[in-house]
């Protein structure tokens, strides 16, 4: 993979928390609780004091589907 392919894959597959919450349909506190309980895991995490987490879109979409089934 060249650099442009990697950038394209990242843009298509990784999201920050705001977009992740939008995909799962959760509030900030509900999303943070799902992360703390391990139901949602960051794909990659950067930083020590101020962490930046990127989430895999496909995992979030799957989580949203199973979450909705449980609520039904």
Radius of gyration in angstroms for the set of CA atoms belonging to the chain, rounded to a whole number: 13
Question: pLDDT confidence of 64, banded at 50, 70, 90?
Answer: very high
SS3 42: coil
Token pair for 42: 């960051």
> What does the mean pLDDT of the chain come to?
94
Looking at residue 67, its pLDDT comes to 80
* Residue 10 confidence (pLDDT) above 80: yes
SS3 52: strand
* Contact by Cβ (8 Å): 20, 26: no
């Amino acid at each position: 993979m060249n650099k442009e392919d990697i950038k394209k894959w990242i843009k298509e597959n990784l999201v920050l928390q705001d977009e992740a919450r939008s995909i799962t349909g959760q509030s900030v506190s509900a999303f943070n609780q799902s992360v703390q309980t391990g139901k949602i895991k960051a794909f990659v995490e950067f930083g020590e004091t101020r962490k930046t987490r990127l989430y895999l879109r496909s995992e979030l979409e799957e989580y949203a589907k199973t979450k909705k089934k449980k609520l039904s």
